[in-house]
């Protein structure tokens, strides 16, 4: 079953499969949480004929690896391990070595890179060589949440399929089906915070981010001169060092700020700079394990500054 909002993507993919010449590289572009990775896996299986069991030997998926050798050992021992912040050149070269052999079950092979926009520069340059001279029968599916971060030379060698945000009514139907325990208020808050991303909406409900979302919006709109709202935000986030939840909190702040940027009528430079700071915090948080309370205060301060910048930009 295809995920909601994928009809046009499937139409493009199937027309290409039925055509005389299948493009060798595809860029699946759209915000995080729209199901691009699920589409890539299903499309790759369709390309290869749907055989091979749950783990198809001719679908090679490249994503974040362990942060370092110590974390790699934890992975090999079956223990929880910390991920690297980007996809490294050694990972790309390992895939390229595998591409020198024949596919296991047929004449085709699919390589999925998720997310391609988080490749290190050296990894991007290495991948470019394979895109310029793809091995026969090899097809690349690059998943990108922010395709502008990819090298222009990589984008130019790919056929782009764009995944659009989901409308409110369709999102509500989806949440009723996938999160039946959520009440109306929680669903409405999740839809507002997700900006059309089903994955973000489900994460919102999973981590009960309604109160933090309300406080973030208030700080952004009204400011917080006496730091009371920032204190409340820190309390709503909680003191538990729960990295997935804190990453969801940071993602929520980015989504709320992105919404303001898109609505902004003046010069959004200050808002964009604040968004970049939130992106930096999101990248550093798993590594530095920021105190949740202090992280909440920092998020609140950035949003308060963004609100002030928004007023200046419109004035």
Does 29 share its domain with 154?
Answer: yes
**Of 128, 143, 162, which one is at a domain's C-terminal end?**
162
Is residue 278 situated within a structural domain? yes
Q: Give the pLDDT mean for 230-255.
A: 90
pLDDT exceeds cutoff 80 at 286: no
**Of 135, 162, 189, which one is at a domain's C-terminal end?**
162
- Paired tokens of 235: 């309390």
- Paired tokens of 171: 């999102």
Interacting residues of 280 by C-beta distance below 8 A, sequence separation 6+: none
Does 51 share its domain with 140?
Answer: yes
Q: How many CB atoms are located within 10 Å of the residue 119 CB?
A: 26
69-to-65, 66, 255 alpha-carbon distances in Å: 10, 7, 34
Convert the pLDDT of each residue in 39-60 to its tens digit: 999 999 999 987 656 689 999 9
Distance CA 115, CA 154 (A): 14
- Paired tokens of 130: 């394979």
Return the pLDDT at 49.
86
CB 197 within 8 Å of CB 218: no
Q: pTM score, two decimals? A: 0.77
**Of 133, 162, 191, which one is at a domain's C-terminal end?**
162
Number of domains forming the structure of the chain: 2
Does 72 share its domain with 156?
Answer: yes
Is residue 195 situated within a structural domain? no
The pLDDT mean for the chain works out to 89
Return the pLDDT at 17.
94
| Sign of the dihedral through C-alpha 151, 156, 161, 163 | positive
In three-state secondary structure terms, 66 is strand
DSSP bridge partners of 59: 110
Return the pLDDT at 53.
61
Is residue 147 situated within a structural domain? yes
Does 16 share its domain with 85?
Answer: yes
Domain of residue 272, residue span = 207-314
Nearest partner of 199 among 149, 262, 252, 264, judged by Cα:
252
Return the pLDDT at 1.
43
Alpha carbon 256 to its chain's center: 15
Does 70 share its domain with 149?
Answer: yes
pLDDT higher at 312 or 82: 82
Does 17 share its domain with 150?
Answer: yes
Does 20 share its domain with 141?
Answer: yes
Is residue 238 situated within a structural domain? yes
């Amino acid at each position: 079953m295809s995920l909601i909002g994928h009809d046009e993507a499937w139409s493009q993919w199937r027309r290409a499969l039925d055509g005389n010449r299948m493009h060798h590289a595809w860029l699946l572009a759209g915000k995080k949480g729209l199901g691009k990775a699920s589409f890539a896996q299903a499309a790759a299986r369709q390309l290869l004929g749907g055989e091979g069991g749950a783990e198809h030997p001719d679908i090679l998926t490249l994503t974040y690896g362990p942060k370092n050798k110590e974390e790699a050992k934890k992975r090999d021992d079956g223990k929880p391990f910390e991920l690297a912040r980007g996809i490294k050149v050694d990972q790309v070269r390992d895939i390229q070595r595998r591409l020198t052999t024949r596919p296991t079950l047929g004449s085709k092979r699919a390589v999925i890179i998720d997310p391609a926009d988080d490749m290190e520069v050296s990894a991007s340059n290495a991948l470019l060589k394979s895109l310029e001279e793809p091995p026969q029968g090899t097809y690349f599916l690059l998943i990108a949440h922010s395709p502008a971060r990819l090298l222009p030379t990589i984008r130019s060698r790919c056929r782009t399929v764009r995944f659009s945000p989901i409308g409110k009514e369709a999102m509500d139907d989806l949440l009723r089906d996938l999160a039946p325990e959520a009440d109306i208020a929680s669903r409405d808050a999740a839809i507002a915070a997700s900006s059309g991303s089903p994955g973000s909406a489900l994460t919102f409900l999973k981590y009960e981010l309604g109160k933090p979302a309300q406080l973030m919006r208030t700080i952004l709109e009204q400011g917080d001169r006496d730091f009371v709202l920032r204190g409340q935000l820190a309390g709503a986030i909680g003191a538990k060092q729960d990295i997935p939840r804190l990453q969801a909190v940071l993602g929520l702040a980015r989504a709320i700020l992105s919404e303001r940027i898109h609505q902004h009528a003046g010069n959004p430079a200050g808002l964009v700079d604040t968004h970049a700071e939130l992106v930096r915090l999101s990248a550093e948080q798993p590594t530095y394990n920021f105190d949740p309370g202090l992280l909440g205060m920092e998020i609140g301060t950035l949003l308060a500054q963004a609100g002030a910048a928004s007023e200046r930009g419109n004035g």
